[in-house]
Amino acid sequence: MRYDPARQRIVLLLPERAVFLNETAAEILGLCDGTRTVPELVAELKRRYPHAEVEADVLELIETAAARRWIQWAGR
């Protein structure tokens, strides 16, 4: 992931293409570093945003990102 100053957005760089992410997606994917489980991602975001319902958004993005091969499960 990189910040694109021209578009003032985070971009996920993939082979042969780029995906422009909104702030929420960028923050969630930024936490996907191979050391955290999905429940740990949810817990971290709940810590950062205690009044927000984050679990459904995290699960939806993780499932979408894995299906599109933006991320892969560690150990697989």
pLDDT in tens, 12-69: 999 889 999 999 999 999 999 888 999 999 999 999 999 999 999 999 999 999 999 8
Which secondary-structure segment (H or E) carries 65?
helix 55-67
* Beta strand segments in the chain, E: 2-4, 9-14, 17-21
Token digits for 25? Answer: 């997606």
Q: Whole-angstrom Cα distance, residue 38 to residue 42?
A: 6
Domain range list for the chain = 22-71
End-to-end CA distance of the chain: 22
Which secondary-structure segment (H or E) carries 28?
helix 23-30
Which pTM value belongs to this model?
Answer: 0.82
